[in-house]
Amino acid sequence: MQIHVVRPGDTLWRIAQMYSVTVELLATSNEIPDPNRLVIGQTIVIPIWGSYHWVAPGETLFQISVLYNVPLAELIRINGITNPNNIPVGLRLYIPQKPRQVIDTSAYIDVLATGAASPAIVDRVGIHLTYLTIFSYAVNRNGSLTPITDEPTIQAAYRQRALPLMVLTNFEDGTFSRELATTILSSEALQNTVLDNAVAVIQQKGYGGLDVDFEYLGAENRERYNAFMRRAAARLRPLNLLLSAALAPKLSADQQGTLYEGHDYRAHGEINDMVFLMTYEWGWSGGPPMAVSPIDQVRAVLEYAVTEIPRDKIMMGIPLYGYDWTLPYVPGGQWARTISPQQGIELALRYNTNIEYDNTSQAPFFYYTDEQGRYHVVWFEDARSIQVKFNLVKEFGIRGFFYWVLGRDFPQNWLLIEDNFVVRKLV
Q: Which of 215, 261, 308, 381 is catalytic?
A: 215
d(CA 94, CA 241): 46
Phi, psi of 348 (to 5 degrees): -60, -40
- The CA radius of gyration of the chain, in Å to the nearest whole number, is 23
Respond yes or no: is residue 215 known to be catalytic: yes
β partners of residue 120: none
List the beta bridge partners of residue 109: 134
CA dihedral of residues 28, 30, 33, 34 (deg, nearest 10): -70
Please give, one letter per residue, the 3-state secondary structure of the chain.
CEEEECCCCCCHHHHHHHHCCCHHHHHHHHCCCCCCCCCCCCEEEECCCCEEEECCCCCCHHHHHHHHCCCHHHHHHHCCCCCCCCCCCCCEEEECCCCCEEEEEEEEEEHHHHHHHHHHHHHHHHHHCCEEEEEEEEECCCCCEECCCCHHHHHHHHHCCCEEEEEEECEECCEECHHHHHHHHCCHHHHHHHHHHHHHHHHHHCCCEEEEECCCCCHHHHHHHHHHHHHHHHHHHHHCCEEEEEECCCCCCCCCCHHHHCCCHHHHHHHCCEEEECCCCCCCCCCCCCCCCCHHHHHHHHHHHCCCCCHHHEEEEEECCEEEEEECCCCCCCCCEEECHHHHHHHHHHCCCCCEEECCCCEEEEEEECCCCCEEEEECCCHHHHHHHHHHHHHHCCCEEEEECCCCCCHHHHHHHHHHEEECCCC
CA angle 189, 268, 389 (to 5 degrees): 135
What residues act catalytically?
215
